Amino acid sequence: MDLDPSLLTTSFAEHFALDAGIDYLNHGSFGACPKRVLAAQQALRDELERGPSKFLGRELEARIDVARAALAELIDAPADELVFVPNATTGVNIVLGNLELREDDELLMTDHTYNACKNALEHAASRTGARAVRVHVPFPLASEDDAVRAIEASVTPRTKLLLIDHVTSPTGLVMPIERIVKAMHARSVRVLVDGAHAPGLLPLSVRAIGADYYTGNLHKWLCTPKGSAFLHVSNARTRKTRPLVISHGASSWRTDRPRLWLEHDWVGTIDPTPFLCIPLAIETLSSFLPGGLPALQARNRALALRARELLCAALGIELPAPASMIAALVAVPLPDARAESGGVFDAMQARLYDEHRIEAIVSYFPHPPRRLLRVCVQAYNSLAQYERLARILPSELSRS
């Protein structure tokens, strides 16, 4: 897709409620929701409160089905294998909570795995005497092969499941997910993909990936209201995947809906409006450029690659990963911290915000004093914001 270079200097910030005085480069942690979608959510909430029984008791099921159908089309997944969850961490916990494990079984993850999901996997292992195994994937790395080889080398006859990020949270790497799933299935290992960042960030076909389980957030790169995610369960696994909260669906006699839906769609009273806004969020992001969502994804990726070049030039370092493994979430190594902050994030992150009004992540990875700077690109960002960060970076590093 040919990209107009002027799109890198143009933003769609007017469609978002973000503080105009902040360079918000942290969409990957907490995505911003377009004003149009927020207004629609409030209208749905008002409608719910005017008639709660009508909305929740008689109409919600059909409304959820409409949202699910829109999502199924976007991510190329069978609708009857999809349920909504509040976040991808919940999706991971649902899958891990349903695993039948024995002592000495092994569960794999990488050292790029999101911390909450790492904790969930370790908890699942500890309940049964199974073993949680962390695979070292280097960063910087030269190619996708570095990641694939490391994972394949860690599989043993005791390996039951691999938990793998589609896009790694700390390092922003787009993993060769189809290749990894194929390699694991060839060795009878199930795969749970934590796709927290993937929906909306990059073109996605859950069907083509072919994992046993795939969970992804919608309130990140698809810009739905907070508390909106999905879990996909392959057809062979649907009847054995129960929700974390056992509720009315467990004893339902209905045969007109998939058992997965009956158990997961209603586990108790919640605010369902984030899910109901999915079709409008897709429509809104698709309206920014003539080429729709694919064009926006291409624009965001091009800007992210340019931002990465600027930051690496300011740091005097080589690009830490091939462009083929980058979408619109990028991380670059920083010099080691001279003094640790005592938390997950380096003190430089607070200074960027307090003194320069830049919201970005400066985290310790893989452990202190090693550090990474992570920035994101969404529709409301423009090239000038990353140029400014690159100018500031050398003086900030001299203080840390």
Cis check for the bond before 294: say yes or no (omega within 30 of 0): no
- pLDDT of the residue at 47: 98
What DSSP character marks residue 336?
P
What lies within 8 Å, CB to CB, of 221 at 6+ separation is 27, 28, 31, 197, 198, 199, 200, 201, 328, 378
Question: Considering only CA atoms, which of 362, 281, 375, 284 is closest in space to residue 328?
Answer: 375
Tell me if 222 sits within 8 A of 70, measured CB to CB: no
Pairing between strand 361-364 and 371-376?
A: antiparallel
Class of domain 39-282: alpha beta
The per-residue pLDDT for range 38-83, each reduced to its tens digit, is: 999 999 999 999 999 999 999 999 999 999 999 999 999 999 999 9
In the block, tokens 């920014």 appear at 288
Q: Are 14 and 34 in contact (CB under 8 A)?
A: no
pLDDT of residue 338: 85
* Confidence at residue 1, expressed as pLDDT on a 0 to 100 scale: 56
Residue for token pair 């997950």? 344
List the chain residues with pLDDT less than 70: 1, 341
d(C-alpha 62, C-alpha 179), whole Å: 37
Query: What is the C-alpha separation between 304 and 385, in angstroms, rounded?
Result: 11
Fold of 5-25+292-397: Aspartate Aminotransferase, domain 1 (3.90.1150)
- Residues 272 and 225: their CA atoms lie apart, in Å, by 10
- Evaluate the CA torsion angle 368, 369, 370, 371 in order and state its sign: positive
CA distance 35 to 183: 43
Domain boundaries, the chain: 5-25+292-397, 39-282
DSSP-derived pairing of the beta strands 159-165 and 190-194? parallel
